[in-house]
Structure 1
C-alpha cells in the first residue's frame, strides 16, 4: 500500500472521479488537473483531505497544493486512479479547452513575457541606479564634472550637485550602464518577437531577425519620431518604391507591433511548412515567411499596432492623471492581488512597457510595487501575532522577505489566503497607498524589482515622495491584520483534519464555546493546559507526520507516551471523538480547542487496543480519564505511538509551551498556556 493511497483515493472521489479528469500532471508542490467539469470538484472535501494544503484554479488547471511529497502522492494517485500522467506542456494544452478567450489571451501574454522578465528586472535595477546617480544631490565645494573632467567653479563655495557631476568615476559608471539599459529596453521588440516564435514552436532565429528589423539603426528611432516633421520623414526617412512609399520608422520599446509581427511570422511559417515540399523547405519557408512579415510590419502592422498601443497607454495614463486618479489608483491597488491569483496581472507588463515607450515613464507600476509591499506587511503581522510559533516563523519570515523583494506567491498562498484576514488587510492597505501615490503623481522610469527595492525604478524627482506610500503600504496592512484578528472579522478558520483525522466540528457545544471565546472571555485570559499523557514531550516540529510538524493543523507539542492513559488537560467538553478512538477533540470552558491524536496511522487499527471512558458531548474535568490504549499493540503493528497535542484555534488563542523541551513530563503537569488574543 502506497504512503498516500488513502488520501489519493479521497482526492479522486472528491474531484468527481476518473471520468471527470481530462489530464493530470504535477509540479514541485502541486497536483495539476484539467477537469471536464470544475463544478464536480467538491472543494470542501478536498480541503478536509489530510495531505491537501490548499487549492486554486489558474489557466484552466485545477491545482491542489500537496507540498514536498507531491511526487510520491502523484505516483499513488496514478496507481489508485489508473490514469497515466501527461507532460506539463500536454496538460497546458488540454487546459486551454477549459479557458475562455480572455483566459487564453492572458495565458499567451504570460508565456511571452515570462522569459523576458529577468532582463526587464535587471534593466529596471540599472535605470533605478542611474536615477540615483543622476538625481541625488550632494554637497560639494564648487566642483562639477563636465564631459568626464572635474572642473572647479568657485573654490571653497559649497554647492549642490548630482553624484555624476561630482565624481568622474560615477559619471563613467552612469554612462557605461546606459549600454545594457539600452539593450534591454530599446531593443525589447527583439526579445518579444523571439519569445513569440518560441511560444508558437517556430524558428526562433527568424523571430530575432524580425525583431532587429524593427529597431535597426537604419530606421528613425521611435523616440525621435514626435520631434521630426512629416516633411523630413517623407524626405529622409522613407523607402520609395516608385508607386508607393513606406516610412523608415523604428519601433524601439514598442510592445504591440512586435507581438503582432511575431505572430504573423509564426503563422506564415506554419502555413508554408504545410505546403512547401520538405526538400526545399529550408530555403523557401524562411524566405516566404520572413520577407512578407517585414514588409507588413512596416507598412501595416507597425503603424496600426503603434496607434493601438498608444491608445491603451493613453487611457491608462489619463485615468491615473485625471481628477479621479485617486479612485483609479485605489481600485487598482485593491484589485491587483486578486489579479495575481487569476494570472491576469501578466497583462500589466505590456501596458507598463507601452506607457514607458509613449511617456518615458509609467504611473501604473508604482501601484503594483505597493501591492507587493502590502502583502509582505500582512505576513509580517501574522508573524508578530504568532512570533512564538517557530514553525510558522519558518514560513512567514521567508514569505515576507520574498514579497518585499517582488515575489508575492509564497506570501499570498502560504499565509495570507490561509488566514484570509491578512489578505484583505493587504488589499485595503495597497488601495490606500495606491490612492496616495497616484495623487502625488509618482511615476516609474522602468519595470523594476517589486517590493522595497522598487523605489530604485521610481523617477528621481519622485523617489522621496514614494516613501510615504511605501510606509502606508506597510503600516495599514499590519494594523488592519491585528484589528481583524481581534474583532474576528474575515476570519477563515476551517477545522480541517490532519493525518487520518477528517472532521468539521459544527456541534452546538463547539459553536457555543467559540462564541464564548470571542465575546465573553477578555483579551489576555490565560488557559492552563496540563499534560494529558506521561512521557517525553518534544517540539511539534519533530513529529513524523508533516501535517503536524509543519503546523498546518495548529501549534503545540508532541508527546512520546510512556503509559497508555489519556486524561483531560482542562475542564471542558468532548467536541469530537472518532469511532476508531485514536483521536479526540476537546474545548475548554474558555473556548480553547485542543486536538489529541494518539499515534500515526493508528486509524488502521479500527479501535483495536483502545478503550473509551467518555463520549462526544460529555463534560469533563481536568485529570479525568478519557481513554486507555495499548502501546505495545500499536508498536507491534509497526506504527508510531507519538501523540501530537495541539491548539487548533490559534487565531483566537496563542499557545505557548511551559518549561524547557524536550523533557519528561507527568500526566497532569502543566504543559501549555493558551492566551486569548
Structure 2
C-alpha cells in the first residue's frame, strides 16, 4: 500500500516529467534554479517550450519568459518539483554551460541564478536577526551574552561569508569548477589575508597591494568569477587532459587569488560603492518620487524577475550604511499585494472558490512575505488589479520614502520582520496605507460583474438539480436556455476522472467526459462557431449559438505530433452546423506513435460548467447521440 508521502512524491514526479517535456525536453535545459515560488530554467531554445501546455498543468500558476530565464511559477511546493526535475533531467553542477552574449538579460540571469539558491539561507538568517532584535529590545536577552553571540553567529554567517557562497553559485551559473569559485571567495576571508587589512607598504611580487575587508561584499567576487570562467576554459584547452584534475584548479587559484587581491577586488569594490551611491543620490534628490516608483513598480519588476538587480545594492547598503532605503520603500509593494488578497477574501461569499484561494494567499504574504502567488494567481488574472497594486504600492512607498524608512537586515517583508525597519512610525503608516488602499480599492473596484463566478458559493448540481427551460417570455425576464451537446466522436464514453492526464482528470481545464473513438472524424456537436484551432490541429474550440464554450481534444499529449496525422476541415471563425465534419485524423497511426486516443470533450466556461447535466457516460455513442445538456441564463427573450 502506497503511503500518502509516496503518493505525493509520485505526483511531483509525474508532473515534473510533463514540465520537462513542455520546456522542450531535458536536452533543451542548460540549467535550473529556483526561488521561493518559481522554477527558473535557462533554455537553449525558448521556442521549443510550450507555454500554453505548461500553464494548463495543475501545478503551474503562470509562465514568464524574462531576464534570460524561462520562469515557471509553482508556488510553495517549488522545492519538491525542483528536486524531482533535477533527478529526472540529470541536472547537476556538471551540466554543460552554453556560450552566452553579454547583455542586459544575461546580467539579470546571472544575478538571479547566483542569489536564488541562497535565498532560503538568507531569509532564515534574516529572521533570526529580527528575533534577536525583539529579544534585546524587550530585555529578554543581552547582546553581550554567550547565547546571543551564538545565535548572532547563525544569523551573520551567510552574510559574512557571502563571497564564498556567491563564488560557488556564480561559478555554477557562469562556468568553471564551482568549488574553485568558492575557494577564490574564501581566500579573501582567510585569516592570514585579513590580517594584512590596514597595513602599509604591502606588495605581491613587487606590485603594490592594498588589502581591504571583503566580508559581506558582492561585486568583487562577481568580477573575479566572471574572469575565472575564461581562465578555466583557457587552461582546459592548453593543459594535457590527464593532468587537468589538479593542474587546472592549481593554476586557476595561483592566477585568480592574486589578481583578485590586486585588481578585481578593489575594482569590484569601486563598482559596488558607485552603484550604491548612485541610487542613494537619486533617493536623496526626491524621496517622494523614489518611493512612488519603487512602491508602485516593484510588483511589475517581480513579474519579470528584474527585482534581483537591487539585491547587490541592498546588501552593499546594509554593509556600508547599516540600512537600506530601497527595500524600506519597496516593502509597501508587498503589503499592497497582501491588501489585494484581503480585499478579495472580504468580497467573496462563503464556500466560494475565491474565499478558499484568497485567504491562504493573504496569510502566506503576511507570515512568509511571499507574494508571487498573489501576483500570478490574482493580479494577472483580474486586470483591474494592475492599476490598483500600482496605486496602493505607490501610496505606501511615497510615505516610507518621505519618512526615511530603511531596512536594517536582509529579510523577507512580513510581520515577523517588523523590528528591522526604522523609523517604526513611518513604516507602520506606509505599509498600513498600502494594505488598506489595496484592500479597499480591490473590494470596490477589483472585479467586473461578469467575472464574479468564483466569488459566489460553489454549488455543484446533480441531475436532479438541473433546471428545465423557463417558458416566461416577457422582455425583462431572466431565462434558462438549454443547449443539447451531441457526441462529436463515435466511440465509448468514459468519465473524465479516468483520463490519464491530471489537467483533464482533475477537471481544472473544464468539466465533461472523454470518448475513446472508433472512427476518424470529429463532427460539430451543436450549431455555433469555431473559436479556436490549435496549430497542432489536435484540438478545436467551439462556441454554441447560446454561448456555451466547448473544447474537443483528440488523444493525450498529441500536441507533440505537430499536426501530423490530423487534417482540419474548418477555419477560425467559421459558422458550423450540428453534424458537420470539423476535422479528421488517423487514429491507427497516432496509436502506433505511442499516444493514447482517449479524447476529452469538456466545457470550458464557468457558467456552462455550473449548469450542465451529463446524459451518456460509460456507453457507446454516435454523432447522433446526446452527450450532455447545458443550461445558460440569459436576459431578455429567447
Q: 1:325 aligns with which of 269, 287, 290?
A: 287
Q: Highest Rg: 1 or 2?
A: 1
Alpha-carbon distance, 1:93 to partner: 8.9
How does 1:148-547 map onto structure 2 within 5 Å? 163=139, 171-219=145-193, 233=198, 236-241=199-204, 243-322=206-285, 324-404=286-366, 405-459=368-422, 462-485=423-446
Q: Residues 465 and 53 from structure 1, CA distance in 2 versus in 1: closer, same or farther, beyond 3 angstroms?
A: closer
Q: Secondary structure at the match of 1:57?
A: strand
Give the whole-Å Cα distance in 2 for the aligned partners of 1:648 and 1:340.
41
Q: Residues 266 and 434 from structure 1, CA distance in 2 versus in 1: closer, same or farther, beyond 3 angstroms?
A: same
Alpha-carbon distance, 1:258 to partner: 1.2
Aligned to 1:636: 619
Alpha-carbon distance, 1:117 to partner: 1.2
Q: Secondary structure at the match of 1:248?
A: coil
Q: Residues 238 and 406 from structure 1, CA distance in 2 versus in 1: closer, same or farther, beyond 3 angstroms?
A: farther
Alpha-carbon distance, 1:617 to partner: 6.4
Q: 1:560 aligns with which of 462, 486, 495?
A: 462
Indicate if the aligned counterparts of 1:33 and 1:62 stay in contact, CA closer than 8 A: yes
Across the aligned residues of Structure 1 and Structure 2, the Cα RMSD in angstroms comes to 5.1
Indicate if the aligned counterparts of 1:573 and 1:617 stay in contact, CA closer than 8 A: no
Give the whole-Å Cα distance in 1 for the aligned partners of 2:415 and 2:404.
19
Q: Residues 481 and 105 from structure 1, CA distance in 2 versus in 1: closer, same or farther, beyond 3 angstroms?
A: same
How does 1:28-47 map onto structure 2 within 5 Å? none
Alpha-carbon distance, 1:120 to partner: 1.4
Alpha-carbon distance, 1:425 to partner: 1.7
Aligned to 2:500: none
Alpha-carbon distance, 1:320 to partner: 2.2
Give the whole-Å Cα distance in 2 for the aligned partners of 1:554 and 1:643.
23
Indicate if the aligned counterparts of 1:361 and 1:446 stay in contact, CA closer than 8 A: yes
TM-score, normalising length: structure 2: 0.63
Alpha-carbon distance, 1:600 to partner: 3.2
Residue-by-residue CA offset, 1:352-400 (whole Å, 9 max, x unaligned): 1111122121111223332222212101111111132443333222211
Indicate if the aligned counterparts of 1:329 and 1:438 stay in contact, CA closer than 8 A: yes
Give the whole-Å Cα distance in 1 for the aligned partners of 2:373 and 2:634.
23
Give the whole-Å Cα distance in 1 for the aligned partners of 2:627 and 2:155.
61
Alpha-carbon distance, 1:642 to partner: 8.4
Q: Residues 53 and 24 from structure 1, CA distance in 2 versus in 1: closer, same or farther, beyond 3 angstroms?
A: farther
Q: Which moved more, 1:308-317 or 1:169-178?
A: 169-178
Q: 2:120 aligns with which of 118, 122, 142?
A: 118
Aligned to 1:528: none
Give the whole-Å Cα distance in 2 for the aligned partners of 1:451 and 1:646.
44
Aligned to 1:572: 478
Q: Secondary structure at the match of 2:459?
A: strand
Q: Residues 475 and 563 from structure 1, CA distance in 2 versus in 1: closer, same or farther, beyond 3 angstroms?
A: closer
TM-score, normalising length: structure 1: 0.60
Q: Secondary structure at the match of 1:600?
A: strand
Alpha-carbon distance, 1:634 to partner: 4.3
- 1:600 matched to 2:608: no
Indicate if the aligned counterparts of 1:369 and 1:454 stay in contact, CA closer than 8 A: no
Q: Residues 39 and 201 from structure 1, CA distance in 2 versus in 1: closer, same or farther, beyond 3 angstroms?
A: closer
In the alignment of these two chains, the number of paired residues is 488
Indicate if the aligned counterparts of 2:486 and 2:626 stay in contact, CA closer than 8 A: no
Residue-by-residue CA offset, 1:426-448 (whole Å, 9 max, x unaligned): 22211111111111111112210
Alpha-carbon distance, 1:410 to partner: 1.1
Give the whole-Å Cα distance in 2 for the aligned partners of 1:447 and 1:598.
46
Alpha-carbon distance, 1:169 to partner: 9.2
Give the whole-Å Cα distance in 1 for the aligned partners of 2:203 and 2:525.
95
Indicate if the aligned counterparts of 1:197 and 1:207 stay in contact, CA closer than 8 A: yes
Residue-by-residue CA offset, 1:555-600 (whole Å, 9 max, x unaligned): 6433221599842498336789587499xxxxxxxxxxxxxx9953
